[in-house]
């Protein structure tokens, strides 16, 4: 990736600067976990069963633990190591709960955690093609982030996305006991998982809403267990698909959006799956343009 600064309408390329130590990358991420990944730091250098986890984090949106490892060695199999860490977590759930409670000073129970959403994140200045291809499966709970630093104290952080046509790792995992045991519990959801039990009318309505959202902003579409998130820096819109309707959640505190039609319901004191205090339920596209005017206020 080339990074430039503008000087009198001329582009001046900034030189990449190598990190002297892996710890530098770790410090940057741990000090800015919320800004980078929308995660909460639980523990740095968490040791369990004679294994050291660089960073233990918690995803409050998905109620799941996230393990982050920082890599300089380009020859390590991130898949093997990723499954080892996921297996370690799933076999020692109580230890992770205790660590969270001791560090965060709260009482988190095992049932409060969605273990199916656990994942491992590898952070490196570069990954090999083999490492990238080895994790290019739609249902693998392993993510890759590349980080680089440049002159003028600039940092670039890039999540390596899986291909839209990525296949399932499950046929391969059937031959590996450790992989299979992890995949039996870890679930990476797809849009199709949410669409499989809805009516044709709802499917068509979701497609219209999705197209309108993507025309408005280049959202990242992230299927979760209970909803599909449309994310910018954080989730902006969450959509829960029902058989004959869509529930739309706008991620803002109630009162922050100008809603003259009062189409959105205040769910700030009501249990719900999506993020934010605004909920709109629709079973047709009559108010689609108006809903987009509400979303515009958040992007």
221 token code pair: 């579409």
What pLDDT is attached to residue 75? 65
Residues whose CB is less than 8 angstroms from the CB of residue 144 and which lie 6 or more positions away in sequence, other chains included: 78, 121, 122, 124, 127, 131, 132, 135, 159, 160
Q: In three state form, how does the secondary structure of 184-211 look?
A: CCCCCCCHHHHHCCCCHHHHHHHHHHHH
Kindly give the residue spans of alpha helices, DSSP state H, lying in the chain: 22-31, 33-37, 78-91, 93-104, 129-134, 170-173, 177-183, 191-195, 200-216, 288-296
CA distances, 147 to each of 44, 77, 113, 130, 172 (Å): 19, 19, 29, 18, 30
Q: Supply angle C-alpha 18, 22, 25, rounded to 5.
A: 80
Domains of the chain: 4-183 (3.40.1350.10), 191-296 (3.90.1150)
Pair 66, 54: CB distance under 8 Å: no
What pLDDT is attached to residue 84? 92
Pair 281, 264: CB distance under 8 Å: no
67 token code pair: 């393990």
What pLDDT is attached to residue 283? 95
Distance separating alpha carbons of residues 216 and 294, to the nearest angstrom:
11
Torsion of CA 179, 181, 185, 188, to 10 degrees: 20
Distance separating alpha carbons of residues 209 and 217, to the nearest angstrom:
12
What pLDDT is attached to residue 198? 94
26 token code pair: 């770790």
What pLDDT is attached to residue 281? 96
Could you say which residues of the chain have pLDDT below 50?
Answer: none
Strand, helix or coil at 67? strand
Beta bridge partners of 65: 58
Residue range 200-240, pLDDT digits in tens: 999 999 999 999 999 999 998 989 888 999 988 788 999 99
């Amino acid at each position: 990736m080339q990074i430039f600064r503008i000087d009198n309408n001329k582009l001046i390329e900034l030189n990449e600067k190598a990190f002297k130590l892996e710890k530098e990358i770790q410090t940057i991420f741990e000090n800015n976990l919320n800004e980078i990944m929308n995660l909460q730091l639980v523990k740095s250098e968490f040791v369990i069963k004679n294994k050291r986890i660089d960073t233990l984090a918690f995803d409050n949106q998905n109620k799941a633990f996230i393990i982050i490892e920082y890599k300089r060695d380009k020859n390590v199999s991130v898949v093997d190591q990723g499954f080892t860490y996921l297996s370690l977590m799933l076999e020692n759930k109580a230890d992770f709960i205790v660590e969270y409670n001791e560090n965060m000073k709260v009482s988190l129970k095992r049932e409060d955690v969605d273990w199916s959403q656990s994942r491992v994140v590898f952070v490196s200045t570069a990954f090999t093609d083999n490492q990238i291809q080895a994790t290019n499966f739609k249902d693998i709970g392993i993510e890759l982030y590349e980080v680089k630093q440049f002159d003028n104290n600039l940092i670039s952080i890039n999540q390596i996305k899986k291909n839209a046509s990525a296949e399932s790792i499950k046929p391969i995992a059937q031959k590996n006991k450790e992989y299979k045991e992890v995949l039996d519990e870890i679930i990476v959801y797809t849009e199709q998982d949410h669409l499989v039990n809805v009516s044709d009318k709802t499917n068509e309505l979701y497609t219209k809403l999705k197209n309108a959202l993507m025309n408005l902003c280049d959202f990242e579409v992230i299927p979760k267990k209970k909803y599909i998130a449309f994310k910018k820096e954080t989730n902006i819109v969450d959509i829960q698909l029902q058989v004959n309707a869509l529930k739309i959640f706008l991620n803002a505190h109630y009162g922050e959006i100008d809603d003259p039609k009062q189409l959105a319901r205040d769910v700030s004191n009501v249990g719900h799956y999506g993020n934010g205090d605004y909920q709109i339920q629709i079973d047709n596209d009559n108010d689609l343009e108006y809903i987009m005017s509400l979303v515009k206020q958040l992007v």
